[in-house]
A and B are shown apart, each in its own frame.
Chain A
Amino acid sequence: MRQLLNTLYVTSPNSYLSLDGENVVVLCEEKEKIRVPLHNLESIIAFGYTGASPALMGECAENNIALTFLTQNGRFLARVTGETKGNVILRKAQFRIAESEAQSAKIAKNFIIGKIYNARGVIERAVRDHELRLDISKLKQASQFLMQSINLVSKCSNLDQLRGFEGEAASTYFSVFDELILQQKNDFYFKGRNKRPPLDNVNAMLSFVYTLLAHDTAAAAEAVGLDAYVGFMHRDRPGRISLALDIMEELRAICADRFVLSLINKKQVDACGFFQKENGAVIMNDDTRRIILSAWKKRKQQQLTHPFLEETIEWGLVPYVQAMLLARFIRGDLDEYPPFLWK
């Protein structure tokens, strides 16, 4: 299995990334802040309007290091992709599947099954762990509904219908999401998902973490030679990493949502770290962002046994493994794409 390498987060806005030999050097007002050999890095994420030298961008593309630029608030700006590499036959096969509704539906089905199964897992886990503190009947009801959705989805082969089931399941899941927040209830509540801009603390965190996850899944798809922009469930739209979003569906609940919940429930973040602009948009301050990034990095290093491969890997490699399994299915080595079903 591939080794999980480190990610460099650059959060100081007036810094410049440059290449020196085989190092990435972060300069802040002409002063060297950090120098890291590129062979230690898996990806670089720059927040704010950080500049980077073309030489560094080229080197990153060459060495398969994902270089992504986000705004200060974590909204996606740009990603550096190099020359298209990898297997053209694999990519053509991917395009052919994406062209056909019926075949796309077959894969999309598994993404959605994975998504609902894992969302249900998050609810069930909460029921098991905090039986006395939660509204068990409400959670059980949601969990049962999700179970039924999984059955419906597995019999369905129409892409639009599948999207319908997915939407219903997602809204059921988010309708009980507020129950899972156990601490700091006054400052962290969830009334529904909102984005662009997020209107409360929880949504601000969710949006931020989803962006981080999307960066990882896009990089993973590119790393196995798939085209991150051609999706099966998400249709093509210029500039949208549809395939990465597809792969991400099954990981949202277990990687991102659960991570956000644990930050709140363990009181690693607090209300002081957020402020609201005139238009209602909630923004995190730099400290909170730092806390989230370092916790995210630690989460990515935790180990688990992959349910399909039965191999011990780090959480950070899960997007890569899923992309690899998808590539194997597209290539015809697997009969079906096995979604990541969290145990």
Chain B
Amino acid sequence: MLVLITYDVNTETAEGRKRLRAVAKQCVNYGQRVQNSVFECVMDAAKCREVQHKLELLIDPKTDSLRFYYLGNNYKNKVEHIGAKQSFDVEGVLLV
């Protein structure tokens, strides 16, 4: 299924900026960066739990937030892209 992960990390402090980098680094591991703090990850429910857990440990719940959008298996007709930064389909033909 496709899971959309977005985050907001407070960067007013040095620790905040550090957390932001850590969160971004983890997200890159699991999905495709489609916008600055928006990641599209194709994964199963177990993998999803794993990512959630890892991210929860990184953030500071008082100032930061995480959002997970579960778009299911038929996500292709739910996502539309306009403009620059074309993404690729991880379930399509991967040929470079």
Contacts and interface: CB of A to CB of B under 8 A. Distances in A.
The answer on A and B forming one complex is yes
A294 B96 CA distance: 11
A80 interface: no
Interface of B: 25, 28-32, 41-44, 47, 88, 90-96
Interface string A4-23: 00111111100100001111
A23 B95 contact: no
A40 B47 CA distance: 11
Contacts, number: 56
Nearest to B90: A40
A49 to B, nearest CB: 15
Contacts of A298: 93
A35 interface: yes
Given A6-B90, A294-B93, A35 B32 contact: yes
B90 A36 contact: yes
Contact of A22 (B30, B90, B92): B30
Interface of A: 3, 6-12, 15, 20-23, 26, 28, 33-37, 39-40, 290, 293-294, 297-298
Nearest to B88: A34
B29 A15 contact: no
Nearest to B28: A21
Contacts of A12: 96
B48 to A, nearest CB: 11
A233 B57 CA distance: 54
B96 A22 contact: no
